[in-house]
Structure 1
Amino acid sequence: MKKHILLLLFTCFTMIAFGQTELRNLTVENLSNPIGIGVKTPRFSWKLVSSKRNVKQAAYEIQVKEGKNTVWASGKVASEASIFTKYAGSPLVSNAKYIWQVRVWDNQGKTSKWATASFGTALLHSNEWKATWIGSGLKSDTVNGVVPMFRKSFLANKKIASAKVYVTSRGLYEVQINGKRMGDSYLSPGWTSYDKHLQYQTYDVSNLLSEGKNAIGVLLGSGWYRSRLGWENKQNIYGKETGLLFQMVIKYADGTTETVVSDTSWKASNSHITYSEIYNGEVQDARLEQKNYSVASFDDSKWSTVVSKDFPTNYITAAINEPIRKHENLKPIAVLTSPKGETILDFGQNLAGWVKVSVQGKAGDIIKLSHVEMLDKKGTPYFENLRSAKAQAIYTLSGNGIETFEPHFTTFGFRYVKVEGITGKINPDDFTAIALYSDIKKTGAFETSNAYINKLQSNIRWSQRGNFLDVPTDCPQRDERLGWTGDAEVFSRTAAYNFNVDQFFAKWLIDVAADQKENGAVPFVIPNALKGSFFDMPVGAAGWSDASIIIPYNMYVSFGDKEVVERQYPSMKAYLNYVRGAAKNDLWNTGFQFADWLSYRVDDSKGMIGMKSAITDNYLVAQCFYAYNTEIMIKAATLLGKTDEVQEYQSLLERVKKAFQTEYMTASGKLISETQTAYILALQFDMLPENLRAQAVERLVKNIEGYEYHLTTGFLGTPFLNPVLTRFGRNDVAYKLLLQDTYPSWLYPIKAHGATTIWERWDSMKPDGTFQDPSMTSFNHYAYGAVGDWMYRTIAGIDTKEAEGAGYKSIIIKPEIGGNLTYAKGSLETNYGLVSSSWRIENNKFILDVEVPANTNATIEFPTNKIETIKENKAVLNAKTKTVGSGKYHFEMEL
C-alpha cells in the first residue's frame, strides 16, 4: 500500500515539476460525448492544460475506433490546430459508437498522455428512416383541443446490449418508456422553420428497456408547430395536424438488431391535458389521468388505432444544438396580498419557465396559477403587458393525496404568480419556479467593485437565459416571443461572452437561410412565424435582416468556428445583393426601416426638461449598416479565400461611404441628424473622412453632456455607444453613461425599480411608478444588455484579435479603468481554455493578474503612462505592452 501511495505522489510531483501537458474538454461538433451526431465528417476539439508558461501545441495525433477497428489514424500532424479538426477516416456508419483519442506534442518537447472520449452517430442517410409519420386520428386533437397520447408495446426476447431512439414531431413530444421519462430535455424537438427544416433528437434508452415485455408512451402537444404565434391570433401556421416520427434501434448481446418504429400498430387516446398552448398556458385534469399508460401491463383495449401521415422526411436532420433543459430552481421569497385580496408569490427573479406545485385537496378542486412580471405601485399584478396571452396553468385535482403538477408544452415569463383555489394559508415550500432554457454552457464571469454594475451583469445574463429557448426570442411573456433578428443581432457578441452559443446560433442560422426570400431579403423574425402579416415583407431592414451577415461572423470571431461562415456565406451574399439592389447609386434610401428602434422620445416619461427627442434619420442608419455589412463581407470573403469578391466588396465599401458623405454630412462634418446614434454609427463604421472624426467625437460628447450624461440611443445605437467613446479616447464619458442611474440609463431600472432583467424600453416602468404603453412593454428583453460586450472587452479588458487569432487564439488584454472602480475581474472559458483578467487599485497602484490558456498568446496593454513603474513580479518591463504565451502573470504599476 505504501508503495502505491509513494508512486502516486511521485507521479503527481513529476507532472507538476516537469509541467506535463494534459488534454481536457474533448468535444465533437462542440458537444461532449454526443450520442447522435448527423455529420459525416465531424470536427474534433480539445484543450491543452499545463502549469508551465509559453506552452503551445506542436503536433497532434488522433485515432478513432469502432469496436476494435481503427477507422482513422491521423498519424503525427505538425500543427497548432486544437479546435475543429475535421475527421478524415473511413466513412462513418449510422447508429454506431466510436471511441476517439488524441495526444499532442508541445513546443517544449513533452508528449501528452492519450485523452479519450466518444461520439455516436445518428441516421446519416435519410433513407435509413424506417418509421412512418403517425397522427392520433382523434377528433379532439386540434390546436386548442386535448393533448393526445400514443402507445406501443413490444417484446424484446433477448439480452439487450444497447438501444437508441431517434425521434421528432410536428408539435412537441414527451416520451416515456416502461413508466420512466426518456431524457431530460423539454419542449423538444424545439422550434425550427418546420416546413423546411426539422431536427430530430437521439436518446440512449438502454437502461429503460428490459428483456421481455416493454412499452412506449408519448404525449404530443401543439407547441410552436400549430399554437398561435404572434399577436394576430394566427394558428396552424405550419399545419393543422401534429405528427410523431419514432424509431428505436435495439442491439442485442448476440449481435442482432431489432427496430421498433412508429406505424399503424400504435394506439392513441386522449390525455388528461385538456388544453396546451404556448401563450395561454396549460390545463390539466388529474381525474382524467390514465396512470401507467407507458408500462407494458397497461390495458389499452379501449384506445383507437393511429393514422399514418405522408409528412415529408427528406429535410429532417439530426439536432446540432443543445436541447432545452431545466436549470435554476427558485423558491418564493415572499407571499404577498394585493389590495384586491389576491394571494401572490414573489420568486424574486424574472425568469422564463414554469412553477411546479404540490397540493392536496378534494376531487374537482381547481388550482389556477397566473404569471406576471410586475406588480403595479399599489401591489396589484400587472397583466396588461401580456396583451392577449393568458399565461395560466390550471389544474383540477383528483383528490388522491398530495398531487404534484407542472406544465408539459408551454412556458411563462414571470416573477410573480397569482394563486387561486387553495383554501387556508399557503405554504411557499409547495411551489418551485423552474427556469427553462437551452442547455448552453456558461463561459463568462464578470464582477466589479460596483454593486449596481454587478447587478446589471446579472440582469443581462438572466435576460439571455429567459430568451434563449431554442430560438433567440425578444421576450418570454406576452403574445409574441418571436425570433426577432434585430434583437439577436445586437446582442450576439455579448451572448457569446456569457455562454457558449456557437451551436445555438448555428442551428438558428440554418432557419435564417431557409426562410430567406427569393430576392435575398431576410424576414424580421426567424422562424418566420409572421407569414402573411404586415411584417412579412419582401424587404430587408438595417440592423434586423443583416443578422444574416453579422451573427455568422460574430460566431467566427468568438469561437474560431470558420464553418459557420462557410455554410452561411451564400445566405450572407444573397442578403448583401438584396441591399445592393434596393440601393440607388450605392445609397440605401428605400423601403421599410426600423432604424434606431425605441430611442429616446420626449413624450416617454414626459422627457427631460428642455430636451428633444433623439430621432435619427432612418436611411442614415441604413447606410451605416450597409457599410457594416459590406465590411463584414470583405472579412468573410478574405477568410474563405474569395479574392475576386474581396476586391469587389472593397470597391463597394468605398462607394457606400462616399454616398453617405454626400447625402448625410455637411462639408464640416455635421450630420443631418444631430443625435447620439447618428454620430455613434458614423464613427463606429468609419463613415467620416479621418480628418473629420475628431470633431464628430466632440459633437457626440456635447450631445451627451446636453442630456446631462444620459443616453438617448435605441436598439441600433446603444451597442456601439460606449465602444465608440472608448475607441476615441473618451472612456471618461463612457463610464459616466454606464454609472448614470436616472432615466434614461442602464442602471435606472435597477436603482429605481429593483429590476432583475433587462427591459424592452428605458422606461418600461416610469419614474412615477406607472407603466409604458402596455402594447409594447416587456421587462425581459435583452437588446439593451448589449453593453455587456463593452463591459467584458473594456472593463475586464478581454478581447480577441480577429484576423490572426479569432476564437481567442490571439488574445487582447486591455483593461480601461474609470468610474471610480477599485477592482474588476472577468474570465472567459474559450475553446482553448480559461482567459482571465483581474485588476485592483490599491494606494494609487494598479495590480493586474492575467491567465492565458495553453496554445494561445496574449498582448497585454497596461493602463498607465508611467512605463518605468510597470513590473512583472519584481522585474521592470519598460514597455506599454507585453506579448506573452500561456501561463499566469502578475503585474504592478503606478497610475
Structure 2
Amino acid sequence: MAPFINTLLQKVMISGFICILSISTFAQKLSVTDLKVEHLKNPMAIETDSPRFSWKIRSSVKNTIQSAYEIRVGRDKAAMNAGKDLVWKAAVSGDQSVLIKYEGAALQSKKRYFWQIRVKDNHGNTSAWSEPAFFQMGISPMDWTATWIKVAGKDTAARSPLFRKEFVVNKKLKSAIAYVTAKGLYEARINGQRVSDTYFAPGWTSYRDHLQYQVYDVTTILKSGSNVFGVSLGNGWYKGRIGFGNQHNFYGDTRGLLLQLVMEYTDGTTETVQTDESWKYAYGPIMASDIYDGEIYDARLEISGWDNIGYREDNKWNAVGTMEKGSEKLVAMSGPPVKKHEKFKALKVFKTPAGETVVDFGQNLVGWVMLKAKGAAGTKITLSHAEVLTKEGNFYTTNLRSAKAQDIYILKENTEQVFEPHFTFQGFRYVKVEGYPGELTTEDLTAVALYSAMETTGKFATSNSLLNQLQHNIQWGQKGNFLDVPTDCPQRDERLGWTGDAQAFANTAAYNMDVAGFFTKWLKDVKADQQPNGSIPHVIPNVLGANDGASAGWADVATIIPWDMYVAYGDRQMLETQFESMRKWVDYISSVAKNNLWNSGFHFGDWLFYRPHDDNDGRAAVTDKYLIAQTFYAHSTQLLINAAKVLGKQEDVAKYSALLANIKSAFVKEYMTTTGRLVSGTQTAYVLALQFDMLPEELRAASANRLVANIRDYGNHLTTGFLGTPYLCHVLTRFGHNDVAYDLLMQESYPSWLYPVKMGATTIWERWDGIKPDGSFQTPDMNSYNHYAYGAIGDWMYRTIAGINSVAEEPGYKSIIIAPKPGGKITNAAAELETPYGPVKSAWTLENGVLKLEVTIPANTKAKVILPETTREIGSGTYYFESKL
C-alpha cells in the first residue's frame, strides 16, 4: 500500500495549518510552548526539592526530534531573561522533554522562580528561548507561624462564621502571597473581593493524615494604607453530613481557619499578617450549609462592607478562640482546584401536571443555580433540584434519598438581588422554584457547572449522532463527578470516592481531560487511607470506617490507576510514590488467600450487571464473585510486576512473577474445565479471564467464541456490570470479533450504551435501565442519572474507532500507535488528543470500501500506523493514507 498523498490537498492543509500558527512560529521552524512544572502551569505551591519540568515542541518540519535542550532557572525574571543570576542552568543532549528533574541550588520556602527553555532539533534548528514561566515553592512546616482560630466556645451553630482582620500596608509593595487552609471549607476575600476563582477550598483529602493549603498572589488586590481580610467558613466534608447513617463531624466538630499573608516590600523588608487572637468573628447570612442538603441564606442578615475597609462595626464582633495544631500534615495543593465552567441559561419555565413551577436547563450538570429576584423583605424562595421528571412530567427527587438538595434564599428589602450558594453543590437538570415573587422567566436563572479545572485534552466525533451524544454524556459524567475527588454520583446523599468506579473509568478520563494532577492528588489519599494490613477501603477518602476486607475490583484501584496514569503520562515518579501501596495491596490478598485462591471475604462483584427477568436456560448473568476476585488478584499482581520492572526492582519481579503463575494455575484448577469452559458462563467471566490472560493460550480463542455466543444469545446485548463492562469490547476486538464489539456499541435497545441516549440522557446512568421503556424508574435507592462507570466504553472508542493508542514501553505518548478499526456502519470518525508532547489527531472516512486516513503526530515523538494493508513507521507531521478494507 502506498501513502495517500494528494499534492494539492497537502498544500492546502499546510497552508491552513500555517494560518493558525502565531507569527513568531511562522518565522521560526522550531518553538517551545506549554511549559509545566509537576503537571501544572505556573504552580503556586511546589513542595518537592526537585520539581520536574515539561514542555512541548512545535515544528513546521516533519520528523522533528529534540536533540538537545537548554534550561535556565532564576529568581528574577528580567535577570533570567538576560542569562544572569541563575540558580540552575543546564545544556543537555537528548530528546527528553517531559518531567525533567531540577538539579540546581537548593530551592527556598515561599520563593518564586522563573524558568525558560530552548531546544535544538535533529534538523539543525535552534528555537528561541521560550516565554518565561514560573513556579513558587510552598511554605515549609517551620515557616508556619500562624495560629488556628475558631469561634469562641463550642462550634455548634449551623450558621457560617465570618472572620475579619484589618491591617496596614505602609510601604511600597513588591509582592503579597497568602497561604490559607481551613477545617471545613473557606471563602477568602480582601477589600471586598474574592482572592481567587477557586471553590470548595481547601478540597477534600484524608484530613486525619493531611490537609491541603492554597497559595494566592494578592499583590494587585492590596492597597496602600488600610486593608481588610475577610474569610467565611462552611462545614463541608470536614464537619458536615457525609457518608451514611446521618453521619456528622466525621473528621472533627470544630471549623477552623489558618491564614498567613507574607508581604515583601521593595526595600527588601517583609511583614506577615496571620491568624491569631487579634482577629474577630461574627455570624453572617449563611444560616446553614451542607453538601447533601443545600444552603439557607438570609439576605436580611448581610453585614454590608464587613470584608472591606471603612467598616466600623467590628467593635461589636467577638474575639476569636484558638485551636491546637492537630496531628495532620499541612501539604500544598497538588491537583487542580474546583472552578466555575460552563453556564446554562434556562431553556424553559413550565408548570408540571402537579402544578409545580419547574425550570429545565437541558443538561444534567453539577454545580448550582444563580438566581435573580426582587421582592418584599422576608420573602422565602426555595430551589429544589432533580435530574429527571416522572413519565407524567412531574418533579422527581425520590432517587436523592435523604439529600434535601435545596437552596433557600430569604430576600432583604425590595431591591434586585443575585443569589448563589457558597459551600454546597447539586447534581441536576431541573429546578423546582417555590415562593418566587412575581413571574419567573428564563432570564432569572442561570445554571453554573463546577468541577476540577482539568484541561480538556480529547475530542471524539463520528458520522453517527447517537455515538456523538454518548461521547457528550461520557464527558459530562466526568465533569460532574470529578469535583475534587472522583465521586460515584453528585446528587444523592452519597457523593463519595468509590474506588471501583474510579478504576473502571480512569483510562477514559485520561483521554477526555488532563487528569494527571487530579489523580496524583487522589492517590495520596488512597495511600493514606490504606489500612495497616494493606486493605483498601471502598471509598477514598474513607468516611465509611474500617471494613473487614476489601472488595475485588474496588480495592484494586491501588494498582490499576497508578499504572494507567504512568502509561498515559509517563510519570515514573507516580509509580515510585505508590509502589509500596501497590505491594501492600497484593500482599494483603496473598495473606487472606488459601492455596493461592482469593475465595473469601465480601465482594461487590460485577456490580449492577443486567438481571434478566426470567432467565431459565442457564445463561443468567450472575458471575461468581470469587472467580472475579481471582482475576483481579492476577491483574494487580501483573501490574505490580510491571511497576517493579520500570523501577528496576528485580527481586520483586521474580517474586511476584512466581506468585502470578500460581494464581493463574489456581484459577484454572478451580474455575475452568479442561476444555476452557468456566464455572460461570457469563460475559463478565469470559471477559475478565481473557482480558487478564487467566486461560491457557490454546484455549483462549474458544473462550472468546463462547463469549460471542453468549452475546448473540442475548440478541447482541451486553449483560456486564461495573467490572466486566470496561473490558468487554477490548476483549472482542483483541480476539478478532470487532464486528461483535460494534454490534454491542451500536445496540439501541436495553441493555446497551445507546439505550439511555435514546431515552434522552445527557450523562451516563448508574443502571442500564435507570428509566425503563415504559417511563417508570428503576429502584430509587440506587438510581443515579450521573454515574460515569459505564462511560468506560470511551476508552475503546478512542483506541479502536479513532485508533489512538499509547505504548507502555514508551509511555506518555512518546511512542504512539494509530490503528483505527472501522465498523458499525460508521462512515467517518475523528479524534484529537493533547498528549504531554502535543496534539495527536486521527481522522478517517470510508468510501466504497476504501479507508482514507489523516494523521497528525506531535514533534519529539514517533508513531506506528497500522492499517489493513500496511504498517508504517512515521515521525512528527501530518500524513495521509489510503487502504482497502
Per the normalisation by structure 1, the TM-score is 0.94
Query: How far does residue 16 in structure 1 lie from its aligned partner after superposition?
Result: 4.9
Q: Does 1:792 align with 2:807?
A: no
Which residue pairs with 2:818 in the alignment?
A: 813
Which residue pairs with 1:876 in the alignment?
A: none
Which residue pairs with 1:26 in the alignment?
A: 35
SS at match of 2:507: helix
Check whether the contact 2:375–2:437 (CA below 8 A) recurs between aligned residues. Answer: no
User: What pairs with 1:70-85 in structure 2 (closer than 5 Å)?
Assistant: 70-85=85-100
Amino acid in structure 1 at the alignment position of 2:318: S
Query: How far does residue 99 in structure 1 lie from its aligned partner after superposition?
Result: 1.2
Check whether the contact 1:799–1:812 (CA below 8 A) recurs between aligned residues. Answer: yes
Which residue pairs with 1:763 in the alignment?
A: 769
Q: Does 1:884 align with 2:877?
A: no
Distance 2:844 2:85 in 1: 49
SS at match of 2:303: coil
Aligned length: 859
Check whether the contact 2:456–2:514 (CA below 8 A) recurs between aligned residues. Answer: yes
Q: Equivalent of 2:121, from 95, 102, 106? A: 106
Which residue pairs with 2:676 in the alignment?
A: 669
Q: Does 1:718 align with 2:725?
A: yes
Check whether the contact 2:37–2:135 (CA below 8 A) recurs between aligned residues. Answer: no
Distance 1:159 1:890 in 2: 59
Q: Equivalent of 2:103, from 65, 70, 88? A: 88
SS at match of 2:688: helix
Q: Does 1:188 align with 2:201?
A: yes
Q: Does 1:517 align with 2:531?
A: yes
Q: Equivalent of 1:702, from 705, 709, 712? A: 709
Check whether the contact 2:149–2:276 (CA below 8 A) recurs between aligned residues. Answer: yes
Amino acid in structure 2 at the alignment position of 1:375: L
Check whether the contact 1:126–1:314 (CA below 8 A) recurs between aligned residues. Answer: no
Which residue pairs with 2:592 in the alignment?
A: 582
Deviations 1:810-840 (A, max 9, x none): 0000000100000000110000000010000
Distance 2:617 2:656 in 1: 44
Which residue pairs with 1:871 in the alignment?
A: none
Amino acid in structure 2 at the alignment position of 1:727: R
Which residue pairs with 1:381 in the alignment?
A: 395
SS at match of 1:407: coil
Query: How far does residue 94 in structure 1 lie from its aligned partner after superposition?
Result: 1.8
Q: Does 1:565 align with 2:547?
A: no
Deviations 1:615-639 (A, max 9, x none): 0000000000011111111110000
Q: Does 1:367 align with 2:373?
A: no
Deviations 1:59-107 (A, max 9, x none): 1111101124644434321111100000000011122221111111111
Closer/same/farther in 2, CA of residues 122 and 706 from structure 1, 3 Å limit? same
Q: Does 1:489 align with 2:503?
A: yes
Check whether the contact 2:211–2:328 (CA below 8 A) recurs between aligned residues. Answer: no
Check whether the contact 1:517–1:538 (CA below 8 A) recurs between aligned residues. Answer: no
Which residue pairs with 2:422 in the alignment?
A: 408
Query: How far does residue 650 in structure 1 lie from its aligned partner after superposition?
Result: 1.1
Distance 2:589 2:377 in 1: 62
Query: How far does residue 766 in structure 1 lie from its aligned partner after superposition?
Result: 1.1
Point out the more displaced range, 684-693 or 115-124: 115-124
Deviations 1:336-377 (A, max 9, x none): 211110000000000110000011000000110000001000
Closer/same/farther in 2, CA of residues 314 and 349 from structure 1, 3 Å limit? closer
Q: Equivalent of 1:635, from 626, 642, 646? A: 642
User: What pairs with 1:422-437 in structure 2 (closer than 5 Å)?
Assistant: 422-437=436-451
Which residue pairs with 1:211 in the alignment?
A: 224
Which residue pairs with 1:540 in the alignment?
A: 550
Distance 2:773 2:639 in 1: 40
User: What pairs with 1:224-243 in structure 2 (closer than 5 Å)?
Assistant: 224-243=237-256
SS at match of 2:428: strand
Amino acid in structure 2 at the alignment position of 1:545: A
Distance 1:229 1:523 in 2: 16
Deviations 1:301-359 (A, max 9, x none): 11000011003276101111110000000011121211110000000000110000011
Which residue pairs with 2:7 in the alignment?
A: none
Which residue pairs with 2:302 in the alignment?
A: 289
Which residue pairs with 1:875 in the alignment?
A: none
Q: Equivalent of 2:70, from 36, 43, 61? A: 61
Deviations 1:724-752 (A, max 9, x none): 0000010000000000011100000111x
Per the normalisation by structure 2, the TM-score is 0.95
Q: Does 1:303 align with 2:317?
A: yes
SS at match of 1:557: helix
Which residue pairs with 1:732 in the alignment?
A: 739
Deviations 1:613-669 (A, max 9, x none): 300000000000011111111110000000111111111111111000000000111
Task: Could you tell me which runs of 5 or more consecutive residues in structure 2 were left unpaired when the two chains were aligned.
Answer: 1-18
Distance 2:367 2:280 in 1: 31
SS at match of 1:446: strand
Which residue pairs with 1:743 in the alignment?
A: 750
Query: How far does residue 608 in structure 1 lie from its aligned partner after superposition?
Result: 7.8
Q: Does 1:678 align with 2:679?
A: no
Check whether the contact 1:123–1:129 (CA below 8 A) recurs between aligned residues. Answer: no
SS at match of 1:525: coil
SS at match of 2:799: helix
Query: How far does residue 390 in structure 1 lie from its aligned partner after superposition?
Result: 0.2
Distance 2:337 2:24 in 1: 42
Check whether the contact 1:40–1:124 (CA below 8 A) recurs between aligned residues. Answer: no
SS at match of 1:186: coil
Deviations 1:184-218 (A, max 9, x none): 00010110011111110000001110111111100
Check whether the contact 1:447–1:454 (CA below 8 A) recurs between aligned residues. Answer: yes
Check whether the contact 2:379–2:437 (CA below 8 A) recurs between aligned residues. Answer: no
Check whether the contact 2:244–2:544 (CA below 8 A) recurs between aligned residues. Answer: no
Which residue pairs with 1:870 in the alignment?
A: none
Closer/same/farther in 2, CA of residues 776 and 314 from structure 1, 3 Å limit? closer
Deviations 1:31-58 (A, max 9, x none): 1122222222111000011011110011
Query: How far does residue 842 in structure 1 lie from its aligned partner after superposition?
Result: 2.0
SS at match of 1:210: coil
Closer/same/farther in 2, CA of residues 417 and 213 from structure 1, 3 Å limit? same
Query: How far does residue 116 in structure 1 lie from its aligned partner after superposition?
Result: 3.2
Which residue pairs with 1:4 in the alignment?
A: none
Amino acid in structure 2 at the alignment position of 1:84: L
Deviations 1:846-877 (A, max 9, x none): 11000000000000001x3xx3xxxxxxxxxx
Check whether the contact 1:281–1:391 (CA below 8 A) recurs between aligned residues. Answer: yes
SS at match of 1:189: coil
Check whether the contact 1:93–1:121 (CA below 8 A) recurs between aligned residues. Answer: no
Check whether the contact 1:367–1:421 (CA below 8 A) recurs between aligned residues. Answer: yes
Check whether the contact 1:191–1:470 (CA below 8 A) recurs between aligned residues. Answer: yes
SS at match of 1:619: helix
Distance 1:681 1:72 in 2: 52
Check whether the contact 1:138–1:269 (CA below 8 A) recurs between aligned residues. Answer: no
Task: Could you tell me which runs of 5 or more consecutive residues in structure 1 were left unpaired when the two chains were aligned.
Answer: 1-8, 868-879
SS at match of 2:470: helix
SS at match of 2:395: coil
Deviations 1:402-445 (A, max 9, x none): 00100000000000000011144211111000000000110000
Distance 1:308 1:639 in 2: 48
Deviations 1:477-517 (A, max 9, x none): 00000000000000000000000001100100001111111
Amino acid in structure 2 at the alignment position of 1:373: E
User: What pairs with 1:240-251 in structure 2 (closer than 5 Å)?
Assistant: 240-251=253-264
SS at match of 2:131: strand
Amino acid in structure 2 at the alignment position of 1:544: W
Q: Equivalent of 2:854, from 849, 860, 864? A: 849
Which residue pairs with 1:657 in the alignment?
A: 664
Deviations 1:535-570 (A, max 9, x none): x31412111011011001110000111111110111
